[in-house]
Structure 1
Amino acid sequence: MQPLQFTCKKLPIPLLGSAVLLLISLATPTSSCTEQEKNSLLQFEDTHCCNWEGITCNGNKTVIDVSLASRGLEGSITPSLGNLTGLQRLNLSCNSLYGGLPLELVSSSTIMDLDVLNISSNLFTGQFTSATLKGMQNLIALNASNNSFTGQIPTHFCNISPSFAVLQLCFNKLSGNIPPGLGDCSKLRVLKAGHNNLSGTLPDELFNATSLEHLSFPRNGLQGMLDDTHIFKLRNLAILDLGENKFSGIIPDSIGQLTRLQELHLDYNIMSGELPSTFSNCTNLITLDLKSNNFSGELHKVGFSNFPDLKTLDLLWNNFGGTIPESIYSCRNLIALRLSANKFHGQLSKGLGNLKSLSFLSLGNNSFSNITNALQILRSSKNLTTLLLGMNFMNETMPDNARIDGFENLRVLDMYGSLLSGEIPFWISELANLEILSLRGNRLTGPIPAWINTLEYLFYLHISNNNLTGEIPTTLMAMPMLTSEKTAAHLDKRVFDLPVYHSPSLQYRKPIAYLKALCLSRNKFTGVIPPEIGQLKALFSLDISFNNLTGPIPPSICNLTNLEVLDLSNNNLTGEILAALENLHFLSDFNISNNDMEGPIPTGGQFCTFPNSSFAGNPRMCGPGLNHHCTSVEVGLAPTGSKGLLLIEVKIVAFYTTTSKKLVAQIVCLGVDY
């Protein structure tokens, strides 16, 4: 029997047959129809209940299967389901059912045939007490994931039902220790209780459940070490997921005796030491995820050539060193390889080009060298969609325009923080499917190339912290993905083969999760902000701070109604803050500090939420919280000779502008009383 697998997909509400069933069996006492009404409905529906959608009967017309997943059901489970004495399978997953499990269902002596119960992805609460499920002597599989059950993991399943094989309790609020009694479940094959509040260690007795194929406790508070004398007992194990806990110590040598192991997840723990050479015996490995630990040493003792089916290798945030072992390049089915944030060094081997299935490659924050050689090798990986190379190739020169081609399917290119010199190369213009480009933190010179708007799908450009010069080109104001919100449909909605991390707590699982952004800060751009900037109506974030820009803020910038971030600080901008900026209702981060702006700070819209630091360093700017207060005169106006007296309180804010050489008055309406 395969483990219970399910996805929540909304289906149409059933027709009359199932509707009648719901009225009879799922109605709450306050909404139940009378017996006469119930019989009338049954007479109206002339088909047998065995023909109702979601209902299966045996040859004796006895209901044996109720499958009502994803039907939009609400309310609590009625105890009357316990009257279905021949019921073998009940699937109510992916609905909005709530409350506890009625004892008439789970403890009934009349519903002893039930072997599969799937109530996952609902709103159920309560605990699994000693009385829970005591009547289900034939229960084989229980899936109660994605609810709000509390208390401890029950221990009595195997005592009640000797054939119990599948227990799924993920995404609940369970606490306490893992009960040792689960080790008595001789036929238990699937045990999943991730994303709860469990604590303590893996009890030694658990390893007596030698039929286990899937053992999964991610994102809990478990601790301790993997015992070399116990783990080898689980020789049928195909999936072991202990990620996001507090496990320490080393990976024991006995891991090599788990020859059926396909997935090993030990990420986000505090484990250390070198990888054992016995890993080479795990020849069925498909996924190896060890990210965010303290593992160290070189990888050469692991025979990666023994992993012909390996698709994902994630070693992010560890202390591995040396060169990349050649044996990794024999993993021809590898799709995602991440070696970032370690201590690898040397040049990339030509063998990397053998990974023809590689889609996701992340090598950032190591000490690799010879970027030209690396790109020449990688261009033969035609399936590459994500290439993250930042914090390597330090102080080298960006490869020139004539030497790089390929990368036809590349969507994401990140080469940040490498102090690369040279200009933005022309070969990037040939990456026709590029969506995200980051060249920040280098020493690139020259202008933003005029071909930038030929990248039809580019919506995120980060070239901050360089030495780029010249004016901001008007071609940048014509980028297709930023000029129209309608182009959002063209975004690649695929997920990353692995999540992309900006910090342990900030991750992106698909490119579209990135905001549409232009990050041009900390360069040497001159001239004015192009008035064409108003064309970028889809832009969410604009950062052109720390440049040498002059002139006023162009009025067209007020057209960017989707803006959430606008940073114009540390330039030489002049003039006044446009009052129309108050209409940027999504603006949550605004900074105009350290310029030569003047006049009053707008008081409407989002501006009352911005700190004073957003405006500091503009000596001729006035407003609340600044050293320079605006001069004001309050005037009361009232029309006479009218029965309906209208009083308007008006504040006239006066300030002297150096640009117009005259006194300007701004009238601010503070209140109306009538």
Structure 2
Amino acid sequence: MQLLSHLCRNRLPIPFFGLAVVLLVSLASPTSSCTEQEKSSLIQLLDGFSQDGGLTVSWRSDTDCCSWEGIACSTDKTVTDVSLASHGLEGVISPFLGNLTGLLHLNLSHNSLSGGLPLELVSSSSIIVLDISFNRLRGALHELPSSAPDRPLQVLNISSNLLTGPFPSIIWKKMDNLIALNASNNSFTGRIPSDLCNTSPSFAVLDLCFNKLSGSVPPGLGNCSMLRVLRAGYNNLSGTLPDELFNATSLECLSFPNNDLHGVLDSDRIISLRNLQILDLGWNNFNGRIPDSIGDLKRLEEFHLQYNNLSGELPSTLSKCKNLIRIDLRSNYFSGELTKVNFSNLSNLKTLDLWLNNFTGVVPESIYSCSNLTALRLAANNFHGELSLRIGNLKYLSFLSLGKNNFTNITNAFQILKSSKKLSTLLIGNNFRGELMPQDDMIDGFENLQFLDMDGCQLSGKIPLWISRFTNLEMLILRSNQLTGPIPGWINSLSHLFYMDVSNNNLTGEIPLTLMEMSMLKSTGNSSHLGPWVFELPLYIDPSLQYLADTSFPLVLNLSNNNFTGVIPPQIGQLKVLGVLDFSFNKLSGQIPQSICNLTNLQVLDLSNNNLTGDIPSALNNLHFLSRFNISDNDLEGLIPSGGQFSTFEVSSFDGNPKLCGSMLVHRCGSAKAPPATILSTKQLDYKVAFAIAFSAFFGVGVLYDQIVLSRYLNLG
């Protein structure tokens, strides 16, 4: 049974896990027969299912219900357990289950049940563990009548449903045995109950994250002397953490991310929570410094303060938290050098994320003593110097992000990093400014590298041969450098490559036909190679838009802002799964090939600022996913296709083509003479910025994939 949804980042504190197991394991054993009343109640449960997951094979009225699938009975022939998790059930939950007077454990989790939660189950005089998590239940959680006797319920898991309405407060006064309550992932409103522990002295777990709760954190939670897990992240809570909360000294997990809490981390209060293993106050408005007393939290394993307004240097006492596994301090205002912290004491550290702060100096050598480190992000700070040879000690390093710093000697960096055999994500853009792209054919290794970002380094030279050895590469970003020469013919040998951005360089020559043979862009059957591969840390375009896996990205071919000549190869139509195609700001000539109309998954097509001639293929109207289209500043002519997707495009998409005509233009087809330059031109010198803003706005709502902006505007961290 899933007692807690997303509990403390999917980690259940060991003491409570043992308790949960004790509660969930039924001591009853199947026996010979059950009563007719109990059999009738179970049949009524079955009748409420529109999809029963095959239960009818076992649940036959002519057999003993104690032998039915998912049913267990005690020695006195009483039904004690109904365990039907993950059975593919659909329909409603019968209130007649409340007639099972000996029922102790009811688990209907991970199904597709709908309707409401019958009050008869919550008010049962026998149930001690009730788990209906991960269903589609709707409606409110009703209060119990004030006259109702106390209930024996110990564990209630209603997480991951569609429950709404004010979160109840009176109901808990009737549950003096309650140990764990998980109501996360619903849409409850109102406030957090303030007196949960006044009636339930053994109360240990409260998870209310991912709801719509408001108000302040109630001081009454400080009375919970047995409280171990307190989670209320992703709500609308405000105010400060009350002083009384720090009286709950048994807390092992304190998690309030993504709220509107503020204040400072008080040194005298935080040391009282010496049992803390997880402290997560990220995405709030806390300010001030991390107190030196943080070092007194000896059991701390996860420390999350990302996206706050914290400042100052990191305290040296952080080194005393020797059990730390994850440190996430990204997007704050921390400053100073990291050398004060002796990372060599943190031998268990796996993730260190310091992205977007104001740290200076060199990367401390002690970091390379963290031999279990899998993800290190130091991007968007002011570090300088060369990479240390000791980075090779990080044998498990998979994710390394150093972008937007002042590192130097890129050739040395690659020679050092090739010893990191598990490296899959390497982001080193906006460093090594003005250096020469390493041309050393001896660069090898990187067998597991899937994502290489060298954006904005202003590197000179050519696209190097050694990249062809990165046989598992999926994403290659070389934009905003000063690379010259053609795209090498070996590019199609990167059989996993689905995202290529070489925009804003000085590349020349014709678009190579080998580029039209990129296997990951030709067939949807190849997409299975993507996995998905989940990043060790989320990748950011900006603080509000993140990517968690490679499947979040579109399939991109971006050659814009170069000096490519010749025609667009008609073989472009082979790249049938391409999502973004940008050939803008080049010197391409000839017609728009009819085969481009075969790219039925295309969302973005930008051919602007070239020397293209001829008509606009009318079959482009069949690209039903096309949301951004730009052919401005060419020499196209004739009628602009009407209807379909073309009715959604801005007039500026056709600017700078005086021979075009159409209903949306001043120059109507068949009119006498078109006034020169009167196509409603809004083009400015910063057109690319405007296009990026428009594109970002379109994809600002919806699932992550739909938030993708043109690849040349991505600033990954």
TM-score normalised per structure 1: 0.87
Distance 2:364 2:435 in 1: 24
Larger CA deviation: 271-280 vs 486-495: 486-495
In structure 2, do the counterparts of structure 1 residues 98 and 51 end up closer, same or farther at CA, with 3 Å as the change threshold? farther
Which of 480, 484, 490 pairs up with 2:519? 480
Larger CA deviation: 219-228 vs 595-604: 595-604
1:175 aligns with 2:214: yes
Q: CA deviation at 1:229?
A: 1.1
Map of 1:98 onto structure 2: 138
> Does the 8 Å contact 1:26/1:75 carry over to 2?
no
> Does the 8 Å contact 2:141/2:168 carry over to 1?
no
In structure 2, do the counterparts of structure 1 residues 178 and 26 end up closer, same or farther at CA, with 3 Å as the change threshold? farther
Map of 1:569 onto structure 2: 608
Q: CA deviation at 1:52?
A: 4.8
Q: CA deviation at 1:71?
A: 2.5
Map of 1:74 onto structure 2: 114
1:292 aligns with 2:309: no
Map of 1:639 onto structure 2: none
> Does the 8 Å contact 1:58/1:64 carry over to 2?
no
SS in structure 1 of the partner of residue 584 of structure 2: coil
Q: CA deviation at 1:492?
A: 3.1
In structure 2, do the counterparts of structure 1 residues 468 and 438 end up closer, same or farther at CA, with 3 Å as the change threshold? same
Which of 508, 513, 523 pairs up with 1:469? 508
In structure 2, do the counterparts of structure 1 residues 27 and 277 end up closer, same or farther at CA, with 3 Å as the change threshold? farther
What amino acid does structure 2 have at the position aligned with 1:551?
A: G
Which of 419, 439, 444 pairs up with 2:458? 419
Q: CA deviation at 1:226?
A: 0.5
> Does the 8 Å contact 1:396/1:419 carry over to 2?
yes
Distance 1:355 1:568 in 2: 44
SS in structure 1 of the partner of residue 172 of structure 2: coil
Q: CA deviation at 1:519?
A: 0.2
Which of 291, 296, 307 pairs up with 1:268? 307
Counting only pairs closer than 5 Å after superposition, residues 219-230 of structure 1 correspond to structure 2 as 219-230=258-269
Bigger radius of gyration: 1
> Does the 8 Å contact 2:613/2:636 carry over to 1?
yes
Larger CA deviation: 126-135 vs 356-365: 126-135
1:237 aligns with 2:237: no
The one-character-per-residue Cα deviations of 1:306-340 (angstroms, maximum 9, x if unpaired) are 11110000001100110000000000100000000
Q: CA deviation at 1:604?
A: 2.5
Distance 2:419 2:210 in 1: 42
User: Which runs of no fewer than 5 residues in structure 2 stay unpaired?
Assistant: 11-33, 51-57, 79-101, 675-717
> Does the 8 Å contact 1:27/1:75 carry over to 2?
no
SS in structure 2 of the partner of residue 444 of structure 1: strand
Q: CA deviation at 1:343?
A: 0.4
User: Which runs of no fewer than 5 residues in structure 1 stay unpaired?
Assistant: 9-16, 32-40, 634-652, 655-674
Q: CA deviation at 1:155?
A: 1.1
What amino acid does structure 1 have at the position aligned with 2:220?
A: G
What amino acid does structure 2 have at the position aligned with 1:69?
A: S
What amino acid does structure 1 have at the position aligned with 2:553?
A: Y
Which of 339, 344, 347 pairs up with 2:383? 344
Map of 2:251 onto structure 1: 212
> Does the 8 Å contact 1:106/1:134 carry over to 2?
no
What amino acid does structure 1 have at the position aligned with 2:136?
A: S
SS in structure 1 of the partner of residue 500 of structure 2: strand
1:520 aligns with 2:559: yes
1:202 aligns with 2:241: yes
Q: CA deviation at 1:128?
A: 3.5
Distance 2:146 2:105 in 1: 16
Counting only pairs closer than 5 Å after superposition, residues 117-196 of structure 1 correspond to structure 2 as 117-196=156-235
Map of 2:541 onto structure 1: 502
What amino acid does structure 2 have at the position aligned with 1:340?
A: A
Map of 1:666 onto structure 2: none
Distance 1:464 1:284 in 2: 44
In structure 2, do the counterparts of structure 1 residues 21 and 395 end up closer, same or farther at CA, with 3 Å as the change threshold? farther
> Does the 8 Å contact 1:183/1:207 carry over to 2?
yes
SS in structure 1 of the partner of residue 497 of structure 2: coil
What amino acid does structure 1 have at the position aligned with 2:421?
A: K
SS in structure 2 of the partner of residue 429 of structure 1: helix
1:626 aligns with 2:643: no
Map of 1:578 onto structure 2: 617
> Does the 8 Å contact 1:182/1:209 carry over to 2?
yes
In structure 2, do the counterparts of structure 1 residues 546 and 113 end up closer, same or farther at CA, with 3 Å as the change threshold? same
Which of 520, 524, 529 pairs up with 1:490? 529
> Does the 8 Å contact 1:353/1:381 carry over to 2?
yes
> Does the 8 Å contact 2:501/2:559 carry over to 1?
yes
What amino acid does structure 2 have at the position aligned with 1:222?
A: L
What amino acid does structure 2 have at the position aligned with 1:109?
A: P
Larger CA deviation: 308-317 vs 68-77: 68-77
> Does the 8 Å contact 1:20/1:42 carry over to 2?
no
Larger RCO (CA within 8 A; separation ≥ 6): 2
Which of 50, 54, 61 pairs up with 1:44? 61
SS in structure 2 of the partner of residue 509 of structure 1: strand
Distance 2:143 2:354 in 1: 48
Q: CA deviation at 1:108?
A: 4.1
What amino acid does structure 2 have at the position aligned with 1:450?
A: G
Counting only pairs closer than 5 Å after superposition, residues 638-653 of structure 1 correspond to structure 2 as none
Counting only pairs closer than 5 Å after superposition, residues 273-422 of structure 1 correspond to structure 2 as 273-422=312-461
1:546 aligns with 2:563: no
Distance 1:428 1:43 in 2: 65
Which of 227, 230, 255 pairs up with 2:294? 255
SS in structure 2 of the partner of residue 496 of structure 1: strand
Distance 1:165 1:373 in 2: 53
The one-character-per-residue Cα deviations of 1:351-400 (angstroms, maximum 9, x if unpaired) are 11110100000000000000000011100000000000000000000100
In structure 2, do the counterparts of structure 1 residues 625 and 43 end up closer, same or farther at CA, with 3 Å as the change threshold? closer
Distance 1:150 1:289 in 2: 29
Q: CA deviation at 1:401?
A: 4.0
What amino acid does structure 2 have at the position aligned with 1:512?
A: T
In structure 2, do the counterparts of structure 1 residues 616 and 107 end up closer, same or farther at CA, with 3 Å as the change threshold? farther
Distance 2:604 2:537 in 1: 27
Map of 1:437 onto structure 2: 476
What amino acid does structure 2 have at the position aligned with 1:65?
A: H
Distance 2:312 2:635 in 1: 57
TM-score normalised per structure 2: 0.82
1:63 aligns with 2:80: no
In structure 2, do the counterparts of structure 1 residues 269 and 23 end up closer, same or farther at CA, with 3 Å as the change threshold? farther
> Does the 8 Å contact 1:593/1:617 carry over to 2?
yes
> Does the 8 Å contact 2:142/2:168 carry over to 1?
no
Map of 2:712 onto structure 1: none
Distance 2:47 2:186 in 1: 21
The one-character-per-residue Cα deviations of 1:50-99 (angstroms, maximum 9, x if unpaired) are 55545555555332111111132211122332574222111111111122
Distance 1:160 1:580 in 2: 70
Which of 478, 494, 518 pairs up with 1:455? 494
Count residues in correspondence. 614
SS in structure 1 of the partner of residue 621 of structure 2: helix
Distance 1:44 1:83 in 2: 28
> Does the 8 Å contact 1:560/1:584 carry over to 2?
yes
Q: CA deviation at 1:20?
A: 6.5
Map of 2:570 onto structure 1: 531
Map of 1:667 onto structure 2: none
SS in structure 2 of the partner of residue 580 of structure 1: helix
Distance 1:521 1:378 in 2: 30
Larger CA deviation: 280-289 vs 481-490: 481-490
Larger CA deviation: 185-194 vs 478-487: 478-487
> Does the 8 Å contact 2:5/2:160 carry over to 1?
no
Distance 1:196 1:478 in 2: 48
Q: CA deviation at 1:583?
A: 1.3
What amino acid does structure 1 have at the position aligned with 2:232?
A: A
